[in-house]
Structure 1
Amino acid sequence: MSRGGDKVEGAPGGADRAERKKIIYIVYVIAALDITWMFLQFSVTPYLAKKLGFDTLWFGYLQTMVGVIQLFGGPMFGRFADLFGARMALSLSCTATIAFFLLLAIADHPAMLFIHKIPTFFMHVLPVSQMVVADLSEPEKRADALSKIGLCFGIGMIAGSTLGGHLNARIGEAFTACVGAVGSAFSLLLVLKFIPKTTKAHTPRSNTESEKKSTSIFNVGEITRLMKFPGVSATFAVKVFAGLPSGIFQVMFSIIALDFFKLQPHQNGYLMAYFGIVQMVIQGGVIGKLTARYSENSLLLLSIAVSSLVGLAQAYMQNVFHFCLTVIPMMFSLSVFNVITDSMLTKSVPSSDTGTMLGLCSSVQSLLRTVGPTVGGFLYVNYGVSSIGQIQFVVNIAVFVYMLLR
């Protein structure tokens, strides 16, 4: 790579190992920054929504809108990244994030909160970062390399939650959103400077072929064909069903923190920072050792079993201290589950389709955010927080038994 703009020829086999590592490390930085700005936004949106008159139900609708947008945007954007390369995909994502924060900064009406979510169709820095890491890492070390993105997630969670909580409490929502826009612009500069045009291992295609492929971005058949590869559909089904209950809790957590735990913005920031520290330890010091010693199937079973116990514990928690006790096993199960399923799925498809596969993986999270607010809001209003934990326990036990029998 020269001047950050040339293609990594034959990656990962033909590129120099040090060069590939450099690109991966820069991608880690970009991912950490993106998560920082997103968690900074999480310190703004719930409180701004409350000021603008949103109740739990309408906030659920807002979250559902994001889920629907990214549900369709994720696979399409993954396909876009496969066809046009990492640099263009990350540039588009960062530009959309800038627009997202600028719209949030001027939001002074309930309708504006919905409008500012439209750019999320293009905001997929994390799956594109995962694509680059998957393309440039060796298959046997892929799970460990992907887990380091989770380490970046923890760093961003701490930095974004702490910074966002203090800025929101001391200066206000608009200024905090502007900080997110400026930060996203800096991320865009890093992309343009250091990320190569493509990280794929295939040879360049002619302009005619490129034009033909560009029309296939919205080809649903090209995306869903990945489900026909051996093992993909079964792993994908487990990812959806086992991840649904914990996804509901995650989507509803901002409301739970505000309404059930009665946390102020800065207190919520401290709690999210605690999440980040735990995740950093797990992603940086635990998952790599586990993947080197145990099979991915065994680790997947372990994560589902731990998740079921976490749901049972959350069903009986009464205060924020009780919840903090469940954070370590909760973050362990989520981290291992997401890393292992992503690793298994990207190994099951050709390297030319890793972006599309990871786009489909991100669509699972979007699906959870789509149905999660509606289902979670209904459960929370009618049956309380305990019902969400009880469902997580039952569903994960069922998936665990299914996998053992299979």
Structure 2
Amino acid sequence: MSSSSAGNSVNTRFVLITVFLDILGIGLIIPVLPRLVGMFAPQPDLQAYWYGAIVASYAVMQFFCAPLLGALSDRFGRRPVLLLCVLGLGLNFFLMTQATSLIWLLIIRAMGGMTAGNIAVANAYIADVSTPELRGKALGKIGAMFGLGFICGPMLGGLLGEQHYQYPFYLAAAVSLCNFSYGLFALPESLALENRRAFSFSRANPISNLRGLTHLNSVGALVWAMGFSLFAQFTMQTTWVLSTELRFGWTPLQNGISLFMVGICSVIMQGLLLGRVIRRLGEAQTAVIGLASSSFVLLMYGIVNQGWLMYVLIPCNILGYAATPAIQAIFSRAVDAKSQGAVMGSLSSLGSVMSVGATLIGTSLFAQVGHLPKGSLLLGAPFFLAALAQGLALLIAIKHFMNEKKAI
């Protein structure tokens, strides 16, 4: 192994640990955030609306700030921006425990969204230190760190949440601040001085950046596929705990176990199998098969009326965890080294837009059906919506790859 590749391996390891600790903190609060909202809004429909508004406020600020952070990382380097994001996340977790009303929860969570571009910067970091041929596999490692974070975070958060709903927030704050301390001393810079580019507010404009994604070489239509797929994922994520608590009477611990299983499947695919899958199938076919798998499983999530069946369905979607890193790799190959941060920030903004829409629509839809009896099929409406969005992503991706094949 050359010294350069060895150095890149070390750099990758540093940033992956940083991402893991970051996601661990986020995962800790997922099983208990609805209960924190419920302390101020005890009625199910009111809780769903406020929960949606609080999650959406985070995503709105992320939408506006992620491209800014990505552009700043292209100018000043990945390291300082990544550390700033991690510090902001830790402070936000702590402030959540000090909120005394729903309005304050909304404001504090919105402030957290301002520094929520860390994953986009981490993706750019990985792109900096990876060759184009191995970029899909390398970006899959970021997904694997997501999985590891969700293996440990929700399970631990569920256990702590059984004791007191604030305990996971305190631990998440401590983990993030320890992560900041670790990165301050151990995280090296990945972006060489010659690959940096001048900062401009036009490149940090989320609207123009999203428009610019559609003009990237041979990948424009995939923006729509990525958008619908992210909408599906966020619809599922933001209504999962609300849905399982109402439909099956699940506790924070049971939700923690389900998210633990999601993390296991993500790690197996993105951390162990993704490189081999992409080598065998190619990025395009991997994306199509993953989207098809997710569409089917999301539909089944809405249909089943027994909680244990949700546990059965989670591992059935293991191929679904390959779709996003495969599409990200296609986007990453379409730009040069100087624009990785901006592009990953734009993809993060796309995720934020979809998160806002999915959160507001999904939780509002759930609030409309939340009064129905437990056995009603309509209680699965948010999952049906997610399945429809994922199905649209699948059709767009198939059409895009077919057109691309004809053009060759």
Q: How does the TM-score come out when normalised to structure 1?
A: 0.88
Distance in 2 between the 1:319 and 1:271 partners? Answer: 14
Q: Does 1:56 align with 2:48?
A: yes
* Aligned residue number for residue 373 of structure 2: none
Q: Does 1:193 align with 2:179?
A: no
* Aligned residue number for residue 105 of structure 2: 113
**Deviations along 1:281-306, whole A, 9 cap, x unmatched?**
11222211101212111111111221
Distance in 2 between the 1:356 and 1:184 partners? Answer: 25
Q: How many residues align?
A: 385
Q: What fraction of aligned residue pairs are identical, expressed as a percent?
A: 23
2:64 to 65, 72, 81: 72
Q: Is the 8 A contact 1:317 1:323 kept in 2?
A: yes
1:137-286 alignment to 2 at 5 Å?
137-170=130-163, 172-197=164-189, 199-201=190-192, 203=194, 213=199, 218-219=204-205, 223=209, 224-286=211-273
* Aligned residue number for residue 351 of structure 1: 337
Task: Please identify, of 225-234 and 360-369, the stretch whose mean Cα deviation from structure 2 is larger.
Answer: 225-234
Q: CA deviation at 1:105?
A: 1.8
Distance in 2 between the 1:226 and 1:284 partners? Answer: 27
Q: CA deviation at 1:237?
A: 1.4
Query: Cα gap change, 1:51/1:310 in structure 2, threshold over 3 Å: closer, same or farther?
Result: same
2:50 is aligned with what amino acid?
W
Q: CA deviation at 1:370?
A: 0.3
Q: CA deviation at 1:114?
A: 0.9
Q: CA deviation at 1:89?
A: 0.7
2:296 is aligned with what amino acid?
L
Q: Does 1:364 align with 2:364?
A: no
Query: Cα gap change, 1:404/1:179 in structure 2, threshold over 3 Å: closer, same or farther?
Result: closer
SS in 2 for 1:228: coil
Q: How does the TM-score come out when normalised to structure 2?
A: 0.87
**Deviations along 1:102-156, whole A, 9 cap, x unmatched?**
2112122222211221122112222211111111011111111111112211111
* Aligned residue number for residue 4 of structure 2: 16
Distance in 2 between the 1:35 and 1:41 partners? Answer: 10
* Aligned residue number for residue 302 of structure 2: 315
Q: CA deviation at 1:216?
A: 5.5
Distance in 2 between the 1:339 and 1:124 partners? Answer: 17
Q: CA deviation at 1:196?
A: 2.6
Distance in 2 between the 1:287 and 1:221 partners? Answer: 32
* Aligned residue number for residue 86 of structure 1: 78
Distance in 2 between the 1:277 and 1:95 partners? Answer: 27
2:293 to 284, 306, 309: 306
Q: Is the 8 A contact 2:52 2:364 kept in 1?
A: no
Task: Please identify, of 23-32 and 271-280, the stretch whose mean Cα deviation from structure 2 is larger.
Answer: 271-280
* Aligned residue number for residue 406 of structure 2: none
* Aligned residue number for residue 100 of structure 1: 92
Task: Please identify, of 178-187 and 390-399, the stretch whose mean Cα deviation from structure 2 is larger.
Answer: 390-399
Q: Is the 8 A contact 1:201 1:351 kept in 2?
A: no
Q: Which runs of 5+ in 2 are unaligned?
A: 370-377, 404-408
* Aligned residue number for residue 44 of structure 1: 32
Distance in 1 between the 2:188 and 2:380 partners? Answer: 48
- Computed over aligned residues only, the root mean square deviation of the Cα atoms, in angstroms, reads 2.3
* Aligned residue number for residue 336 of structure 1: 322
* Aligned residue number for residue 6 of structure 1: none
Q: CA deviation at 1:325?
A: 2.1
